[in-house]
Amino acid sequence: MFTLPLGDTAQLRPLEPWHAQEFLAHIDRARPYVDPWIPWATFSTDLASATAVLRRYADKQAEDTARIYGIWLDGTLVGGVMFTRFDSASGVCEIGCWLEAAGEGRGLVTRACRALIDWAFAERGMHRVEWWVAAGNTRSIEIARRLGMTHDGVLRQRSAYRGVRRDSEVWSVLSGEWPPVSEVPAEEASVSDVEAELGRLMRAFLGAFANTGGSGPNLDVVREVFIPQGVIISNVGDEPVIYDLDSFIEPREKVLTDGTLTEFSEWEVAARTEVFGSIAHRFSEYRKSGVLDGEWFEGAGRKTTQFVRTPGGWRMSSMAWDDE
């Protein structure tokens, strides 16, 4: 058995059938976060079904067609990564991931996925690594972007979840596009816990507005990531418009739920973060898309966000944005 360190107290290890009890306890904690996106989480509801999932992957590993690995943080299983498909004959494989809340904000999944991709290209000679994700799964899409993958396209209404058809996005990276581990910039390979946490807060903020694939927005997240006295400023027009949290949330919640704005998502495409003690700043470039009053649109812009460290952890204190 191997153990690959992912940080001071995190490890990547094979996830095997004898881990079934630990795996089930982890899935029970993670279920609210992963159930909408990972089908086998729906089926791991007791020890027998959890064991069956891990046995299925063990059988597939023996056939060289799939593999599964767990991420342990401080000795507790908090997530994992996997080759959901591995076809050495064609040189094409697919990877996926999942994570419970306790493992978020540390860059664990990104580092684990880098290890899998590097192994697939360097050790197994694979040509293409794919990332399939349900439209609206903004966290998974963000990981694909951080891994340097290319968005190949969308398969409309490819999958169903509890009676709702969902689009699937396909992302990929080719062997010729992938840097070996030694060439990954040191600052990227060792992202500080603080910077990772600020990135998680930004992704949570942007993801709060998404209503793609039949999902609904969750604007309560805005209150969770901001301090109660937070200020949000739109500087798109001639005069800045200054909001407190309630005045910012209310009109956006309305248009995202009354049919005015559908299939909306917004995501970072680049960011620069500076941290000084208990304060921090993040300058972000973002893109957005959706259907507004029946018409498809795409947009882009810049955000500047300030953060403060509180007894409850890092929180946003103010944000301002301007659209292109």
- How many Å apart are CA 176 and CA 179, to the nearest integer? 8
Q: Is the dihedral of CA 317, 138, 218, 35 positive or negative?
A: negative
Helix (H, G, I), strand (E, B) or coil at 8: coil
Q: Which residues, in sequence order, are bridge partners of residue 302?
A: 285, 322
Q: What is the dihedral of CA 63, 149, 208, 318, to 10 degrees?
A: 140
Asked if 196 and 99 touch (Cβ cutoff 8 Å), the reply is no
Q: Which residues contact 23 (CB under 8 A, 6 or more apart)?
A: 15, 44, 50, 53, 54, 70, 77
Count Cβ atoms within 10 A of the Cβ of residue 126 and give its class: 0-12 exposed, 13-18 middle, 19 or more buried. buried
User: Could you read off the pLDDT tens digit of each residue along the chain, which spans 324 residues?
Assistant: 578 888 768 899 999 999 999 999 998 888 877 766 676 666 788 999 999 999 999 999 999 999 999 999 989 999 999 999 999 999 999 999 988 888 887 788 888 999 999 999 989 999 999 999 887 777 788 888 888 888 888 888 877 766 777 788 999 999 888 864 444 444 443 445 688 888 889 999 999 999 988 888 999 899 989 999 999 999 988 899 999 999 999 999 999 999 999 999 999 888 889 888 889 999 999 999 999 999 999 999 999 999 998 877 889 999 999 998
CB 120 within 8 A of CB 93: yes
Residue-by-residue DSSP string for 205-238: HHHTT--GGG----THHHHHHEEEEEEEEE-SSS
Q: Judging by beta carbons within 10 Å of its beta carbon (0-12, 13-18, 19+), is residue 137 exposed, middle or buried?
A: buried
Distance CA 144, CA 279 (A): 29
**Backbone phi and psi for residue 170, each to the nearest 5 degrees, phi listed first:** -115, 125
Going from the N-terminus, what domains does the chain have, and what CATH number goes with each?
4-189 (3.40.630.30), 211-323 (3.10.450.50)
